[in-house]
C-alpha cells in the first residue's frame, strides 16, 4: 500500500497507525533520508542539499534507495510506503521493482488538506522540532512541487482504480477513522 499527501498532511503519523493495523512495515523515504543525513553517510551528504531547499532528491538516488529497502526480508509480508513515489518516473520504477518481485499494489491512500492549513501546521512543527526544511519559503516550495508533480502520480493510481482519497483535516483519530471506513477492506478488519 502507498500513502500520499502534501507535506504536513499527517501522512507519517497515519502511516504508522495504518501499517500497525495491517501488520506490515511502514517505510518513509523522508525518514530514511533524514537518518542518512544524521549519520553523514555518502547518501546523506548527497541528499542534504536537496532536502534543505525543499527539492526532490534526484530519482536515480531515491529509486536505488527504495529498491534496496524493498529487497529486505521484513517487507515480504507487505509494506506501506510513505512519501514514495512522488514523480511520474518513480511510479514507473516502482512498477518495475514490484513486477520483478511478482508483487502488486493493493491500495493507495491520498490525504488532502488545504495549503494554508499545511503552512500553519508546518510552521508549528518547525518550532517544535527545528527541521531544517520547515521554513516558510521551503514549505511553499515543497507544496508547489506536490501540486506540480505528485498530483499527477495520484492521478495515475486513480486511473488504475486503487485510489482512496480521505480528508486530512481534523484530529489524528478522526483522519484514521475516515481512512479505515473509506480505505481498502483489509483496513477495516479487526
Ligand atoms: P518527507 O519527510 O516525506 O516530507 O520528505 C522530506 C524530504 O526528503 C523531501 O522534501 C525530499 O527532499 C526528500 N524525499 C523524500 N521522499 C522523496 C522522494 N520520493 N523523491 C524525492 N525526494 C524525496
3-state secondary structure of 56: coil
pLDDT at 133: 79
57 lines ligand 1 (CB under 6 A): yes
Output the average pLDDT for the chain. 94
Atom of ligand 1 nearest to the CA of 84: 19
54 lines ligand 1 (CB under 6 A): yes
Beta bridge partners of 82: 3, 28
Each residue of 78-135: pLDDT tens digit? 999 999 999 999 999 999 999 999 999 999 999 999 999 999 999 998 888 877 778 8
Query: From the centroid of its chain, how far is CA 45?
Result: 21
Amino acid at each position: 500500500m502507498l500513502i500520499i499527501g502534501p507535506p504536513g498532511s499527517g501522512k507519517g503519523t497515519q502511516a504508522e497507525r495504518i501499517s500497525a493495523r495491517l501488520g506490515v512495515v511502514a517505510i518513509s523515504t523522508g525518514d530514511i533520508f533524514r537518518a542518512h543525513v544524521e549519520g553523514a553517510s555518502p547518501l546523506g551528504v548527497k541528499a542534504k542539499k536537496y532536502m534543505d531547499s525543499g527539492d526532490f532528491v534526484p530519482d536515480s538516488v531515491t529509486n536505488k534507495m527504495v529498491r534496496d529497502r524493498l529487497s529486505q526480508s521484513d517487507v515480504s509480508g507487505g509494506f506501506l510506503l510513505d512519501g514514495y513515489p512522488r514523480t511520474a518516473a518513480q511510479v514507473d520504477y516502482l512498477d518495475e521493482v514490484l513486477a520483478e518481485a511478482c508483487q502488486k499494489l493493493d491500495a493507495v491512500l491520498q490525504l488532502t488538506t488545504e495549503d494554508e492549513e499545511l503552512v500553519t501546521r508546518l510552521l508549528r512543527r518547525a518550532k517544535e522540532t527545528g527541521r531544517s526544511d520547515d521554513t516558510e519559503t521551503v514549505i511553499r516550495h515543497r507544496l508547489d512541487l506536490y501540486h506540480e508533480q505528485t498530483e499527477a502520480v495520484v492521478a495515475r493510481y486513480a486511473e488504475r482504480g486503487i485510489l482512496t482519497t480521505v480528508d486530512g483535516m481534523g484530529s489524528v483519530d478522526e483522519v484514521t477513522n475516515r481512512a479505515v471506513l473509506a480505505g481498502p477492506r483489509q483496513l477495516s478488519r479487526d
